[in-house]
Amino acid sequence: MVQKKRMRTNNIQNNWTKKEESILRRTYTVLGKRKIISLLPNRTWNAICTKASKKFCLFRGRHNAWSNEEDKILLEKYGLAEKKDILNSLPKRTWVGIESRASKVLHIFRKNSRGWTDSEIDILKENYRNREEIIGKLITREKTK
């Protein structure tokens, strides 16, 4: 069987559609290579693998997929727990893998990754369920030069 080469046209980078991304997320770890290529006819296998790993942290073969239980642990601990506690809770994962999964897939970030002070974090914890207006009144920052 001769495999057709898929090429970009006119050297223009083809952006992925939401539909293509959805197909990729649903099928990449469960279907075979040929079936996935047939569902994404305008994409090369290399482009599919790159998109899956870089944007969605999805892997095939020697990589272990993240379980729902691991995601739950990450959601509970990643924002506030110490690094070593998180690593102990996820012994099969590296810190780089944990950070990548948290930010790219689960969209959660470490406590001070956005520049919050400890007192601001305390205020947010105490008032988590309050409306934004109340929190905005409680958090004030001096302007820096």
Residues 95-134: tens digit of each pLDDT: 888 888 888 777 777 655 556 677 877 777 776 665 566 6
Q: Give pTM, 2 decimals.
A: 0.40
Residues 41-51: tens digit of each pLDDT: 999 988 998 88
Angstrom distance (rounded) from CA 33 to CA 101: 23
